[in-house]
Amino acid sequence: MLTKSRHFKKALITMSLSTVLASFSPLSLAADEAQFSQTLQSDHRTEKDKKRDAGRKPQQVMQFFGIEPGMTVLEVLSSGGYYTEVLSHRVGKTGKVIAQNNKFILQVMDGRFGKEFSKRTADNRLANVIHYKKEFGEFDLSDEVDVVTVVLNYHDLYSVAPKEERMKILSQLKKALKPGGTLGLIDMESGAGEHNPKLHRIHHQRVRDELAEAGFSLDAEASFLQNKNDDYSKMVFDPSVRGNTDRFVFKFKKSSS
Question: Which is nearest to 144 in space by CA: 187, 97, 100?
Answer: 97
List pLDDT tens digits, range 18-52: 554 444 556 566 778 999 999 999 998 999 999 99
Is residue 119 one of the residues assigned to a domain?
A: yes
Which CATH number belongs to the domain containing residue 98 in this structure? Answer: 3.40.50.150
How far is the C-alpha of 200 from the C-alpha of 188, rounded, in Å?
8
For position 30, what pLDDT does the model report? 73
- Regions of the chain with pLDDT less than 50: 2-4, 8-15, 20-23
Q: Which domain holds residue 70?
A: 46-254
Is residue 199 one of the residues assigned to a domain?
A: yes
Is residue 216 one of the residues assigned to a domain?
A: yes
How far is the C-alpha of 212 from the C-alpha of 217, rounded, in Å?
6
Is residue 31 one of the residues assigned to a domain?
A: no
How far is the C-alpha of 177 from the C-alpha of 217, rounded, in Å?
14
pTM of the model: 0.88
Phi then psi for 24, rounded to 5 degrees?
-110, 20
For position 52, what pLDDT does the model report? 95
User: pLDDT above 70 covers what percent of the chain?
Assistant: 88
Is residue 35 one of the residues assigned to a domain?
A: no
Is residue 100 one of the residues assigned to a domain?
A: yes
Give the total number of structural domains in the chain.
1
For position 111, what pLDDT does the model report? 95
For position 13, what pLDDT does the model report? 43
Is residue 222 one of the residues assigned to a domain?
A: yes
Task: Report DSSP letters for 27-86, one per residue.
Answer: HHHHHHHHHHHHHHTSTTS-HHHHHHHHHH-HHHHHHHHT--TT-EEEEE--TT-HHHHH
CA angle 244–45–239, rounded 5-degree value:
20
Q: What is the mean pLDDT of the chain?
A: 91
Is residue 25 one of the residues assigned to a domain?
A: no
**Residues paired with residue 185 on neighbouring β-strands, in sequence order:** 150, 250
